[in-house]
Amino acid sequence: MKLYRFLSEEDTSAFCHKVSEALSKGWELYGTPTQTWDAAAGVMRCGQAVIKEVEGSYSPDLKLGAQ
């Protein structure tokens, strides 16, 4: 089964660390990163989709971050 996650964070090194951690756990980049202005918080936000092939069947209770 293929899993999908969308990682997002303020445009700081925390975002890069979040993506790097996912890559170190076997996730792969999917598509291009995004960036947008969050007017309510007054910050830039980044996003990146990642995918991973795993054994088993999908369940909405699946903890994607633990994969």
Q: Where are the domains of the chain?
A: 2-56
**Looking at residue 66, what is its pLDDT?**
80
Q: What is the mean pLDDT of residues 44-50?
A: 98
Q: What is the mean pLDDT of residues 42-46?
A: 97
pLDDT band at 65 (very low <50, low <70, confident <90, very high): confident
Q: Rounded to whole angstroms, how far apart are CA atoms 16 and 52?
A: 18
Q: Would you say the pTM of this structure is higher than 0.85?
A: yes
Please give the torsion angle defined by the CA atoms of residues 60, 21, 50 and 38, in that order, rounded to the nearest 10 degrees: 90
pLDDT band at 25 (very low <50, low <70, confident <90, very high): very high
Give 11-26 as a DSSP string: SSHHHHHHHHHHHHTT
**Assigned token pair, 62:** 């699946």
pLDDT band at 58 (very low <50, low <70, confident <90, very high): confident
What letter would DSSP give residue 61? T
Q: How many Cβ atoms are within 10 Å of 46's Cβ, its own excluded? A: 19
